[in-house]
Amino acid sequence: MNLQTHSVQSSLKVKLIFSDAAHKYFFIILFALLNFTGCSKAPEKKEYVARVNDKYLTQEELDNMLGSSENKNFYKNEIIRNWINNELLYQKAVKEGITNDNEYKNLVENSKKELAVTLLLNKIYADEKESIDSKEVEEYYEQNQSDFKAFYDAYVINLIRFNNEDKAIKFRSTLIENDWNRALNVFKGDSSIISTSAKHIYYDYELQPPVLARIVKELNVNETSIVFNDEPGAFSVVQLVSEFPKGSQLPFEFVKEEVEDRLLANKKDELIKHYIKELYSENNIEIFTNKVVHPQK
């Protein structure tokens, strides 16, 4: 490894981090970069859903923003409004000469580097195809149980939201006579369903909005709520599956996803450390901590 160190240090740690400034402006800069490459004329043979002067949001672009989420119709108007707001602000920034400022250009350059690093890391992860099996996950949980205790009061709930009150009432009646999965099967494919989640664990402070928190805390285990409004245009039903006081051990089944995420993150960290170590051996690196050295011509 061609590494020359011109002063003694106790340790040298290499970390890939976003600077505070770049992190703050990352999405703004990314939006601006995309606008530079975007079309300025009406899209040919493509439907568009919104326009700000000579910039267009096509149906295809909107579909990509929405993704495959079952809640996409619920958020479509908000996404369009946000696109319009951002486009208005960006076009005003261009008129004000912001994009010609050195500060802007430096942020763009730094963000381009950080974006390239992020894409490289994603490629490394994809190429290596890090995977974990169920036995490995369970072993990690057993070895690190103290990391998976309830730091606040925790609640495991089933939650469903409809945009139709009558359907929400019918679902509740079906749920009372059956279990959660059977009730869901009865309403499978129902277009009035906004969102569903099953056996999701929430800490006290995560139960939002307040009306949801109040109702959950008033329920007994396995009890089902009445139909209530916790979002505009939404009619919700919640069922309390389990509750865990602060400090209690959280069962594996309710934290399995968190355990998997943590284990996978540890594997990725090791992968990147090994990758950076190889880069050290392939490149010439000099570190000057006590003086400034000018490049040789």
Does residue 258 share a domain with residue 143? yes
Of 208, 225, 244, the residue that ends a domain is 244
- 276-282-286 Cα angle (round to 5): 85
Q: Kindly state whether residue 206 falls inside one of the protein's structural domains.
A: yes
CA distance 66 to 76: 7
CA distance 216 to 189: 26
Q: Does 15 score more than 50 pLDDT?
A: no
Q: Does 7 score more than 60 pLDDT?
A: no
Residue 5's pLDDT band (boundaries 50, 70, 90)? very low
Report if pTM > 0.85.
no
Q: Kindly state whether residue 9 falls inside one of the protein's structural domains.
A: no
Does residue 142 share a domain with residue 258? yes
Q: In this predicted structure, what is the pLDDT of residue 292?
A: 66
Does residue 90 share a domain with residue 203? no
Q: In this predicted structure, what is the pLDDT of residue 245?
A: 95
CB of 234 closer than 8 Å to CB of 168 = no
Q: Kindly state whether residue 1 falls inside one of the protein's structural domains.
A: no
CA distance 289 to 287: 6
CA distance 259 to 265: 10
Q: Kindly state whether residue 117 falls inside one of the protein's structural domains.
A: yes
Q: In this predicted structure, what is the pLDDT of residue 38?
A: 45
pLDDT digits (tens, 9 = 90+) for 231-265: 888 999 999 999 999 999 999 988 898 899 899 88
Q: Which of 71-75, 206-210, 237-241 has the lowest mean pLDDT?
A: 71-75
Does residue 199 share a domain with residue 120? no
What range defines the domain where residue 98 resides? 14-129
Residue 182's pLDDT band (boundaries 50, 70, 90)? very high
Of 201, 227, 244, the residue that ends a domain is 244
Looking at the structure of the chain, the number of domains it has is: 3
DSSP assignment letter at 250: P
Does residue 26 share a domain with residue 92? yes
Q: Kindly state whether residue 3 falls inside one of the protein's structural domains.
A: no
Does residue 236 share a domain with residue 171? yes
Does residue 272 share a domain with residue 210? no
CA distance 281 to 1: 4
Does residue 163 share a domain with residue 124? no
Does residue 138 share a domain with residue 99? no
Q: Kindly state whether residue 5 falls inside one of the protein's structural domains.
A: no
Does residue 233 share a domain with residue 143? no
Q: Does 281 score more than 50 pLDDT?
A: yes
Residue 74's pLDDT band (boundaries 50, 70, 90)? low
Does residue 170 share a domain with residue 105? no
Of 61, 96, 129, the residue that ends a domain is 129
Q: In this predicted structure, what is the pLDDT of residue 134?
A: 85
The mean pLDDT value for 12-22 works out to 36
Q: Kindly state whether residue 272 falls inside one of the protein's structural domains.
A: yes
Q: In this predicted structure, what is the pLDDT of residue 16?
A: 34
Residue 62's pLDDT band (boundaries 50, 70, 90)? confident
Q: Kindly state whether residue 7 falls inside one of the protein's structural domains.
A: no
pLDDT digits (tens, 9 = 90+) for 165-175: 999 999 999 99
* CATH number of the domain residue 186 falls in: 3.10.50.40
Q: Which one has a higher pLDDT value, 146 or 69?
A: 146
Residue 75's pLDDT band (boundaries 50, 70, 90)? confident
Does residue 291 share a domain with residue 224? no
Q: Does 110 score more than 70 pLDDT?
A: yes
Give me the chain's average pLDDT, please.
82
pLDDT digits (tens, 9 = 90+) for 120-151: 988 888 776 567 788 889 999 999 999 999 99
The two tokens of residue 295 are 């490049």
